[in-house]
């Protein structure tokens, strides 16, 4: 069974053979851990995010349409899980920081005033939200190519292998994805009625 293709293993899982998913985990756990390690360095966090990635993949397997390879689909889940983990961790750290300042000074306002530059912070958060939304709106082929390049640092050749398409197609997809994201950023700047 371990020599079955990803698609065959997925079909076995869908048919009720939960053990078939173990082969997918064994096949991809090191690659997923390598990807996650680009976001976090703590081995325990990498392991936790990896486990969560495979749990999410297992639960969502009925939604896997097969338009892209299983590996590409799994990579997307891993990237999103790692990003969500980081966002959650950053929120917790921010709250902890304010609580410490509040305990020391009895007032949250000084902690908020002491931020490097609240306007810049808000602008960065807005920009990140625009970028995230723009990435989410990309067609799957563009989003996958862009994500594999920008978030995992894969070469064009590696992405071509993962997506089973020519390198030229990968370059074109990434270029089109960047154009679409840039356009959304420009539109956001205009819509925001910049200062």
Query: What CATH number did the domain enclosing 151 receive?
Result: 1.10.10.10
Taking the C-alpha atoms of residue 64 and residue 81, their distance in angstroms, rounded to an integer, is 17
Residue carrying the six token digits 């002491």: 114
Same domain, 103 and 122: no
pLDDT at residue 193, rounded to an integer: 47
Whether 5 and 16 share a structural domain: yes
Are both 131 and 96 inside the same structural domain? no
- Please tell me whether residues 100 and 128 are part of one structural domain: no
| CA angle, 43 then 6 then 19, to 5° | 70
Give residues with Cβ within 8 angstroms of 137, minimum separation 6.
180, 184
Q: Residue 162's pLDDT is what?
A: 81
Q: Are residues 14 and 100 in the same domain?
A: yes
pLDDT at residue 46 in the model = 92
Same domain for 106 and 11: yes
Q: Within 13 Å and on the Cβ side, how many CA atoms surround 151?
A: 23
CA angle 135, 141, 143 (to 5 degrees): 15
Last residue of a domain, one of 83, 114, 145: 114
pLDDT, residue 112, reads 41
3 state SS of 137 = helix
- Do residues 5 and 89 share a domain? yes
Q: What is the pLDDT of residue 28?
A: 93
Q: Which domain holds residue 1?
A: 1-114
Of the three residues 58, 90, 114, the one that is the final residue of a domain is 114
Please tell me whether residues 18 and 56 are part of one structural domain: yes
Q: Based on the domain organization, do 64 and 121 belong to the same domain?
A: no
Is residue 183 located within the same domain as residue 137?
yes
Q: Do 109 and 120 have their domain in common?
A: no
Predicted pLDDT at 106:
44
The tally of domains found in the chain comes to 2
Look at residues 114, 135, 161 and tell me which one is the last residue of a structural domain: 114
**Which stretches of the chain drop beneath a pLDDT of 70?**
1-2, 90-121, 123-124, 190-195
Q: Is the whole-model pTM more than 0.85? A: no
């Amino acid at each position: 069974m371990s020599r079955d293709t990803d698609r065959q293993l997925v079909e076995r899982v869908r048919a009720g053979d939960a053990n078939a998913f173990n082969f997918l985990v064994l096949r991809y756990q090191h690659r997923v851990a390598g990807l996650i390690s680009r976001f976090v360095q703590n081995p325990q966090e990498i392991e936790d995010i990896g486990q969560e990635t495979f749990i999410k993949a297992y639960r969502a397997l009925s939604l896997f349409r097969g338009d892209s390879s299983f590996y590409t689909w799994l990579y997307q889940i891993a990237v999103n899980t790692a990003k969500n983990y980081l966002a959650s961790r950053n929120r917790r750290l921010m709250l902890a920081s304010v609580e410490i300042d509040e305990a020391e000074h009895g007032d949250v306002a000084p902690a908020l005033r002491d931020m490097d530059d609240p306007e810049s912070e808000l602008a960065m958060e807005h920009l990140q939200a625009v970028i995230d939304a723009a990435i989410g709106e990309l067609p799957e082929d563009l989003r996958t190519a862009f994500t594999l390049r920008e978030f995992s640092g894969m070469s064009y050749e590696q992405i071509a292998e993962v997506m089973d398409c020519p390198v030229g197609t990968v370059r074109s997809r990434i270029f089109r994805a960047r154009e679409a994201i840039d356009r959304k950023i420009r539109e956001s700047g205009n819509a925001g009625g910049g200062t």
